[in-house]
Amino acid sequence: METLPSMWRTELLHPLFVHFPIVLLIFATLALLVVRLNIFPNHKRSIRTAGLIMLFPGVILAWISVYTGTLADGVVAREICDPTVLEDHERFAFLTSYLFSAAAVIELTDLLFKRKMWFTRIRKMLVVFVLILQLGGMATVGYVGHLGAKLVYQQSAAVYQPSEDCSEFE
């Protein structure tokens, strides 16, 4: 009789961390988009604060997800049929993390130097650039998620396959 593998396997750390940055970064982008489009002018400051509160931890968790994904890669790569999906998943995860990291650095710069005269001249250009970075990041988040779903649901990456008679559950 087989025994069930532990739920604390290296390859299962990745899905534990990956879902938080997805939500945080998408909602951070939407909040900052609402601010940039001036949809709720009376609540602009609080919406921007909420967006930044989601953006910074989202970036940190995105890099943790990249790290845990790299750990899982060593285990999962040997089990899947089409490793090109895994390579694309990893490449776009890095791209997503870099895009949102750049946006976070620019937003942090904006917070620190908002009142400096030299910064006000380039601020409008940076605001547009951050928006482009975040929208690009949001698009790549969707694609990375799609590739991750293909790995799990089409190739059973990191999924335990029970025996035919399920004797390990007895």
Q: Do the domain assignments include residue 56?
A: yes
Digit-coded pLDDT (tens) for 5-64:
888 888 899 999 999 999 999 999 999 999 999 999 999 999 999 999 999 999 999 999
pLDDT at res. 110: 86
Q: Do the domain assignments include residue 166?
A: no
Q: Do the domain assignments include residue 35?
A: yes
The boundaries of the domain holding residue 84 are: 10-157
Q: Do the domain assignments include residue 111?
A: yes
Sign of CA dihedral 125, 59, 75, 144: negative
Q: Do the domain assignments include residue 145?
A: yes
Digit-coded pLDDT (tens) for 65-100:
999 999 999 889 888 999 999 999 999 999 999 999
User: Contact 80/155 with Cβ under 8 angstroms?
Assistant: yes
Burial code (b: 16+ CB inside 10 Å, e: under 16) for 16-42 equals ebbebbbebbbebbebbbbbbeeeeee
Fill in the amino acid letter for 10: T
Number of structural domains (the chain) is 1
CA distances from 86 to 44, 102, 104 (A): 40, 24, 27
How much is the pTM? 0.89
Q: Do the domain assignments include residue 162?
A: no
Q: Do the domain assignments include residue 118?
A: yes
Phi, psi of 108 (to 5 degrees): -65, -40
Q: Do the domain assignments include residue 81?
A: yes
